[in-house]
Structure 1
Amino acid sequence: MLFFPPFLGGYLFDPELLLRGVAPFVAFCLAASSAYVLNDLCDRENDSHHPKKKLRPIASGRVPVVVAAVLCLSLLVPALWIAFGISARFAVLLVAYLAISGLYSLKLKDIPVVDLFCISSGFLLRLQAGGEVFGVVISDWLFLSVFLLSLFLSTGKRLGESSSLGSMAGSHRRSLKLYPAGFLDGILVLSGAAVLVTYTMYVITRHALVYTVILCCFGLLRFIFRVKSGMGGDPTESLLKDRQLLAVSVAWALMVSWIVYR
């Protein structure tokens, strides 16, 4: 996501820009890893009720809580050190990301709707950080597209969890038992439709990029199909295991690259 602004702006393969992105990339990798360790620490009891997550190192007890806490701090400190060495605004964005991630792990993930917005904010902060590092202005339509796409994907993941866990969903994630029946389905369709509109508005003034809307539409519909068919809503798993989604994603990246860099 950090490299998304220069990729779409046509500057990604500038050697100087790529070199400039190394330190920010490392900083966010460390920060995100620290946030995930904290989340697994806070979720270790709930993860024990999940058929797959119960095998994670902390939830299964293979990694002691103290060791995990030390690891969390050992990732956090260098992330902050690198961030403040880049620029004050970049550091503010990274600290905001860490703060929201921490609050999400501790409490906000249990509050319906708020949990989805917390996840989306992480993508937006990465996007803005990329714009800051590479000196690329983030357009309003791109900002909205990323926000709505992340909301769409996080909703799909929640629906997938609810479907796969059934009556045990509330034991694993408290917010799942607080969502009214059909509410997440509505958000999935609403956000998917909104993504298509905002992305179309983003590319419509960029000539041939408008043809990528067809690929975008197919990808959104395919993801909804997977979620509603009970095949899972995890975005990473869907991308890697679903040949159609993988193919359309690669086709989108190649098409955008050809149009922007030809």
Structure 2
Amino acid sequence: MIRPYLTMLRPTQWLKNLMLFFPPFLAGYLPGGPAFTEGVWLFAAFCLVSSAGYLFNDLLDCEQDRLHPRKRLRPLPSGTVAPRAVTVICALLVLAGLGLARLVSPQMFLFCGGYALLLCGYTLYLKQLPVVDIFCIAAGFLIRLQAGGTLFGVTVSPWLFLTVFLLAVFLSTGKRLGEVRLLGEGAGNHRGSLAHYPEGFLAGTMHLTGAAVLVTYAMYTLQKPRLVYSVPLCLFGLLRYLLRVSSGKGGDPTESLLHDRVLLVVGIAWAALVVWSIHR
């Protein structure tokens, strides 16, 4: 009976919390000793809070998820787990996550607390508002980016800030577009905001933000000459994800990375190129 609860925590989605380590990684700084330990604790704190957010979302969306061809198989909509137990676990995860963040530092507690409030507001109301729902997801990435920069004492450059923001909007839009194409005319019944996106809007937004990501990332690499060679990889990854969404294969960023071998290879190649460019 433990497995359904572990599934609800969405451990694969914890990959998104690696955003905490982007500032030092891209700055050529490999934290060790106490700094690395604090980074691991903060990563764990954000994982706990994000999992609590997924549980809270599942509790509120249980009825709508029963109408979804895939989500209806999740533990809560399928009746495998009890709502009361999920509620208790959700509360414990939030408290544990905020407690860990506080042990790291008061500043990290504020970042993690702000992230928890964002998840709460998003689940309760904001996810029903078109465009606002996408910006909320992007804000979550920016909170983690800034938290990582603050923890490791690395200044987040304006170009990196814009790149992460635009990439988050690009990926979030792709996820929404994937949902629309999967659910068809019933998309609005599952997620309120989807009913307000006119045909072509999400696809156009993907193209717009994808192009903007390429520009801002290219400008960021000009600060680190050898990193400019990763721009073609960036373009290839953007186009591959766009192709995946346009082909109806789903737009969840984490699932796309883990199940699309080409995207996974591109991601590994990009990380290796960063190591060669900055850390050698």
With structure 1 as the length reference, what TM-score do the two structures score? 0.97
The residue that corresponds to 1:65 in the other structure is 83
Question: In terms of mean alpha carbon deviation, does 98-107 or 56-65 score higher?
Answer: 56-65
Q: Give, as a single letter, the amino acid of the residue that structure 2 aligns with 1:133.
A: L
CA drift of 1:59 comes to 1.4
1:11–1:17: 8 Å Cα contact kept in structure 2? no
The residue that corresponds to 1:35 in the other structure is 53
CA drift of 1:13 comes to 5.2
The residue that corresponds to 1:82 in the other structure is 100
SS in 1 for 2:30: coil
SS in 2 for 1:60: coil
CA drift of 1:228 comes to 1.1
1:20–1:134: 8 Å Cα contact kept in structure 2? no
The residue that corresponds to 2:223 in the other structure is 205
2:42–2:100: 8 Å Cα contact kept in structure 1? yes
CA drift of 1:250 comes to 1.1
Q: Give, as a single letter, the amino acid of the residue that structure 2 aligns with 1:40.
A: D
Aligned-residue CA RMSD in angstroms?
1.2
Structure 2, unpaired ranges of 5+: 1-18
Sequence identity (%): 55
The residue that corresponds to 2:24 in the other structure is 6
Question: In terms of mean alpha carbon deviation, does 101-110 or 80-89 score higher?
Answer: 80-89
Runs of 4+ in 1 over 4 A off after TM superposition: none
The one of 95, 114, 119 equivalent to 2:132 is: 114
CA drift of 1:30 comes to 1.0
Q: Structure 2 CA distance, aligned partners of 1:236 and 1:22?
A: 20
CA drift of 1:161 comes to 0.7
Gap change, CA 1:95 and 1:16, over 3 Å in 2 = closer
SS in 1 for 2:55: helix
Aligned residues: 262
With structure 2 as the length reference, what TM-score do the two structures score? 0.91
Q: Structure 2 CA distance, aligned partners of 1:231 and 1:38?
A: 27
Structure 1, unpaired ranges of 5+: none
Q: Structure 2 CA distance, aligned partners of 1:43 and 1:141?
A: 36
Q: Structure 2 CA distance, aligned partners of 1:41 and 1:86?
A: 30
Q: Tell me if 1:18 matches 2:32.
A: no
Q: Tell me if 1:160 matches 2:174.
A: no
